[in-house]
Amino acid sequence: MRRLSHCGCRILPPELLQRIARNGNALQREAALDTLAVDHTLRLGRATWQLLDAGTRRGLFGISGAAKQRSIYDAHGDEALPGRLVRAEGAPAQADVEVNEAYDGLGATFDFFADVYDRNSIDDAGLHLAASVHYGRRYDNAFWNGQQMVFGDGDGELFNRFTISLDVIAHELTHGVTGDEARLVYLGQAGALNESVSDVFGSLVKQYARRERAADADWLIGAGLFTAKVHGVALRSMKAPGTAYDDPLLGRDPQPATMDGYVRTQADDGGVHTNSGIPNHAFYLAAIALGGYAWEKAGRIWYETLRDKRIKPTATFRQFARLTVQNAAHFFGSAERQAVAAAWAEVGIKATG
Amino acid sequence: MRIDFRADGGLAAFPGLSAPVTIHCDALPPAENRRVRDLVRRAGFFALPTADRQPPAPDARSYTIAIDDGQRCRTVTLREPIADPALRDLVDTLRDKARAARRAP
């Protein structure tokens, strides 16, 4: 079969392809039909895939156990992604600390999801993990672009390199997990839940790497990211939202811990990094109440909620909370159900009845 | 030429970094004034769509830039990652100027 010579064809909407298939010349028709067939196969495959559990998915391909595949790229101060490949899976450590921190952070995150929740990478289908370091010039941020992680070097004044915190690396990768599972929209309460889920598993990856109990963890996100000039310990605190920093340049940590402090704003996609303090604190309270290692009970309940078919992309705090309570009862028992409901009640969210 | 610049979002929402910063180009040293005006011209700023249609990428920033050159006035919102190199140069420069303005007493 002939294909259109340019690969951009696949991003055409199906409606347009159907119109070309109906009205185009012979060559255009064939190419459009070819693309539609591939597209349809991919969509059908994707839909089927999502109906299967992790074990069945792996069984389909005869894969036993999860195998991590990492690629770290150097963007060399440019913003073109991904940059030059500098460390592939299994390659030895490099002289560049950011390359190694990214490599190790991706590995720790992969291992956490595989060991604890039997998840095979971000998409539970062995997705190759990619990250670019040295992105941009004095770039003081890190983000997930839907396909890969991106780390800046920091500005050197307020922020150190963004690979320095394992929980930040795990936070970014968890955006990929959420994008594959609940697909929470990045706006308003659903967006704040999306952010909170990334903080929850960001912190759990760090706790798991340290084999730390809930009561012994710092529950900070991004510790080490600030330079010594900043008055603050981290980007956020799940234990005490609103207390992570208070600095002349950065301002004061604006996160509320309860619904009384809920911030209504259009900035930051509707306050996604602000109001996430509320579900963050609920998770912390649940984890402390349930005791032991936070990933075993509280983490499992949140993970199963993220994967729950009943969760909508536009979920509110209350809808998410109710599902965590139901999953606590389903996967554990009435004591766990009560502990999770009490945690949500303490932040001002009624999750039962 | 007057430029209002605001950065929004990112891995955390810092109140101190999201406050808008105003840059009066005529108050800059002449060479710097020319450089900024040239960046605005090369980015084709006054012909840009006002809203970026990219869906938000988690933790990526967005930038709101309003420029008044005395004859034209336009406000544009951009989301990272910014593909166009000329536009990236403009945003990088404005980000540096915003940093310097915040440090000034």
Per-residue model confidence (pLDDT) at position B104: 76
Per-residue model confidence (pLDDT) at position A29: 60
Per-residue model confidence (pLDDT) at position B19: 87
Q: pLDDT averaged over consecutive 10-residue blocks of chain A (353 residues)?
A: 34 48 60 53 53 52 69 93 95 97 98 97 94 93 90 94 97 96 96 98 98 98 97 98 96 97 94 97 98 98 98 98 98 98 98 86
Which residues in chain A have Cβ-Cβ distances shorter than 8 Å to B17? 249-251
Per-residue model confidence (pLDDT) at position A7: 31
How many other CB atoms are there within 10 angstroms of residue A171's CB atom? 31
Do residues A321 and A231 touch, judged by C-beta distance below 8 A?
no
Say what the ipTM of the complex is: 0.90
User: How is A89-121 classified by DSSP, letter by letter?
Assistant: TTPPP-S-HHHHHHHHHHHHHHHHHHHHH---T
Spatial distance between the Cα atoms of A195 and A37, rounded to a whole number of angstroms: 36
E strand residue ranges, B2-97: 2-9, 21-24, 61-68, 73-79
Which residues in chain A have Cβ-Cβ distances shorter than 8 Å to B18? 267-268
Are the Cβ atoms of B58 and A143 closer than 8 angstroms?
Answer: yes
Which residues in chain A have Cβ-Cβ distances shorter than 8 Å to B13? 254, 267-268, 271, 273-274
Per-residue model confidence (pLDDT) at position B100: 87
Are the Cβ atoms of B58 and A268 closer than 8 angstroms?
Answer: no
What would the two tokens of residue A237 be?
């605190």
What would the two tokens of residue A344 be?
């949500």
Are the Cβ atoms of B57 and A155 closer than 8 angstroms?
Answer: no
**Residue A220 φ/ψ, nearest 5 degrees:** -100, 150
By Cβ distance, the residue of A143, A249, A267 closest to B57 is A143
- A&B contacts, CB < 8 Å: 89
How close does chain A come to B13, measured CA to CA in Å? 6
